[in-house]
């Protein structure tokens, strides 16, 4: 899993690096030109074959600058082709431009869920949308899709009693009690990290819980989408630990 960034270099400091910062906080793998390309590299190969060609997600920062950019438009053509073949998920972000003002070349992006941003709007909301979608896609590969699935499957298995108890308490909380919900998810995450060697699990599977807890320390308000990120992160960690063949048990105190 990797996200390709399509943008004009003129928008790098006003929007792109802000999005990149938030995605890095969740350890989302990103193909970003400044990390992947050096002077003297073959631009077309690095950008189009290694970049667009090997990524299955793309963020398109569509702005007056990228519309005027030959390179950005070359990337958009390749991204659209992969999208139409079902090979790529696209996240359109319209920066300093509105969806209603798009010409025919870009109307296909308007058919997707998109965000309109200006410099005054923090990009963290758009980033959280992207992270939620990626985690949901990853979760679809595993058998346990919800916390209730986990409770139903393991509530009578003695070795799972502690986590099942935590998740039952979590499900009883008021939806808006974000701090308590995050605290219980973090407790479950900490328990799994202690009992499993998670070295081979992709870090973005579980980094969301760690990041959100450290960011808030349960003192700042968070939103429902961030709770979704934390829930899906915990479910990915559970699934990868139980079914993913990523990890080995640290001991015999937690097993199927």
205 and 236 Cβ atoms separated by less than 8 Å: yes
Segments in the chain forming alpha helices (H): 17-25, 33-36, 43-44, 64-67, 70-84, 107-110, 124-139, 147-154, 161-171, 178-195, 207-216, 224-243
Confidence of residue 256 (pLDDT cuts 50, 70, 90): very low
Confidence of residue 200 (pLDDT cuts 50, 70, 90): confident
Percentage of residues in the chain having pLDDT higher than 70: 89
pLDDT of residue 101: 95
Domains defined along the chain, listed by start: 3-137 (3.40.50.10140), 141-249 (no CATH)
Structure tokens at 174: 């008021």
The whole-angstrom separation of Cα 21 and Cα 27 is 10
Give yes or no for residue 41 having a pLDDT over 70: no
CA distances from 252 to 118, 144, 248, 256 (A): 53, 22, 10, 10
pLDDT of residue 176: 84
Between 2-16, 163-177, 217-231, the lowest mean confidence (pLDDT) is in 217-231
Between 9-13, 67-71, 140-144, 240-244, the lowest mean confidence (pLDDT) is in 240-244
**Torsions phi, psi for 186 (to 5 deg):** -65, -35
Confidence of residue 253 (pLDDT cuts 50, 70, 90): very low
pTM of the model: 0.90
236 and 33 Cβ atoms separated by less than 8 Å: no
Over residues 43-96, the pLDDT tens digits come to 666 778 888 999 999 999 999 999 999 999 999 999 999 999 999 999 999 999
pLDDT of residue 196: 82
Q: What is the mean pLDDT of the chain?
A: 89
pLDDT of residue 214: 85
Give yes or no for residue 136 having a pLDDT over 80: yes
Percentage of residues in the chain having pLDDT higher than 90: 71
């Amino acid at each position: 899993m990797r996200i390709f960034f399509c943008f004009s270099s003129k928008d790098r400091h006003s929007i792109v690096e802000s999005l990149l910062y938030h995605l890095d906080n969740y350890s989302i793998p990103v193909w970003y030109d400044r990390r992947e390309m050096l002077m003297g590299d073959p631009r077309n190969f690095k950008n189009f074959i290694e970049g667009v060609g090997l990524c299955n997600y793309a963020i398109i920062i569509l702005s007056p600058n990228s519309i005027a950019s030959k390179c950005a438009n070359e990337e958009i053509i390749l991204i659209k082709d992969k999208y139409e073949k079902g090979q790529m998920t696209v996240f359109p972000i319209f920066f300093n431009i509105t969806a209603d003002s798009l010409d025919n070349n870009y109307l296909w992006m308007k058919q997707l869920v998109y965000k309109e941003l200006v410099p005054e709007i923090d990009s963290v909301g758009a980033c959280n949308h992207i992270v939620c979608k990626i985690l949901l896609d990853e979760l679809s590969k595993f058998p346990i899709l919800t916390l209730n699935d986990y409770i139903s499957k393991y509530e009578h298995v003695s070795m799972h009693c502690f986590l099942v108890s935590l998740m039952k308490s979590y499900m009883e909380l008021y939806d808006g009690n974000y701090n308590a919900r995050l605290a219980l998810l973090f407790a479950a995450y900490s328990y799994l990290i202690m009992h499993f060697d998670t070295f081979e699990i992709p870090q973005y599977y579980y980094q969301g819980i760690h990041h959100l807890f450290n960011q808030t320390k349960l003192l700042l308000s968070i939103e429902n989408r961030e709770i979704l990120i934390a829930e899906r992160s915990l479910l990915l960690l559970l699934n990868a630990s139980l079914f993913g063949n990523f990890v080995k048990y640290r001991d015999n105190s937690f097993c199927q």
